[in-house]
Amino acid sequence: MGALHAGHASLIKRAQKECEHVIVSIFVNPIQFNHYKDFENYPSDNKGDISFLESLNVSLLFNPSGKVVYPDGPKIKNYNLDNLDTKLEGLLRPGHFQGVATVIDRLFDILKPDRAYFGLKDYQQVQVIKKLASIRAECPEIIGCPIIREDNGLAMSSRNSRLNTKQKKAASSIFRALKFAEKEIRIFPVPPEALKREMKAIIHSSGELRVEKILFAFSNSLDLINDPNSPLDHYNESVQCFISAFAGEVRLIDNYCVS
CATH number at residue 171: 3.30.1300.10
φ, ψ for residue 94, nearest 5 deg: -55, 130
Task: Quote the Cα angle for 186-190-196, to 5°.
Answer: 110
pLDDT (0 to 100) of residue 41: 86
Would you call 96 a catalytic residue per the annotation? no
Q: What is the DSSP-derived secondary structure letter of residue 229?
A: S
Q: What is the DSSP-derived secondary structure letter of residue 148?
A: P
- Cα(87)–Cα(125) distance, integer angstroms: 11
| Residue 151 resides in a domain | no
DSSP characters over 128-194: HHHHHHHHTTS-SEEEEEPPPB-TTSPBP-GGGGGS-HHHHHHTHHHHHHHHHHHHHHHHS---HHH
Do 139 and 16 have their domain in common? yes
Task: Quote the Cα angle for 26-39-36, to 5°.
Answer: 150
Do 13 and 139 have their domain in common? yes
The domain boundary, picked from 96, 124, 145, lies at 145
Residue-by-residue pLDDT tens, the chain, 259 positions:
999 999 999 999 999 999 999 999 999 999 999 888 889 888 899 999 999 999 999 999 999 999 999 999 999 999 999 999 999 999 989 999 999 999 999 999 999 999 999 999 999 999 999 999 999 999 999 999 999 999 999 999 999 999 999 999 999 999 999 999 999 999 988 899 999 999 999 999 999 999 999 999 999 999 999 999 899 988 989 999 999 999 999 999 999 999 9
The domain boundary, picked from 145, 167, 183, lies at 145
pLDDT (0 to 100) of residue 46: 94
- Cα(211)–Cα(245) distance, integer angstroms: 4
pTM exceeds cut of 0.85: yes
- Cα(241)–Cα(259) distance, integer angstroms: 9
pLDDT (0 to 100) of residue 177: 98
pLDDT (0 to 100) of residue 206: 95
Do 132 and 23 have their domain in common? yes
Do 185 and 251 have their domain in common? yes
Instruction: Give Cα separations from 123 to 1, 126, 250, 257 (angstroms).
Output: 16, 5, 19, 10
Do 18 and 140 have their domain in common? yes
Do 198 and 139 have their domain in common? no
The domain boundary, picked from 95, 112, 145, lies at 145
- Tell me if residue 128 falls in helix, strand or coil: helix
| Residue 184 resides in a domain | yes
- Cα(26)–Cα(50) distance, integer angstroms: 10
- Cα(85)–Cα(90) distance, integer angstroms: 5
Do 178 and 241 have their domain in common? yes
Q: What is the DSSP-derived secondary structure letter of residue 42?
A: S
| Catalytic, out of 5, 8, 35, 96 | 8
Q: How many structural domains compose the chain? A: 2
- Cα(177)–Cα(193) distance, integer angstroms: 14
Do 18 and 90 have their domain in common? yes
Residue 128: domain span: 6-145
Do 177 and 107 have their domain in common? no
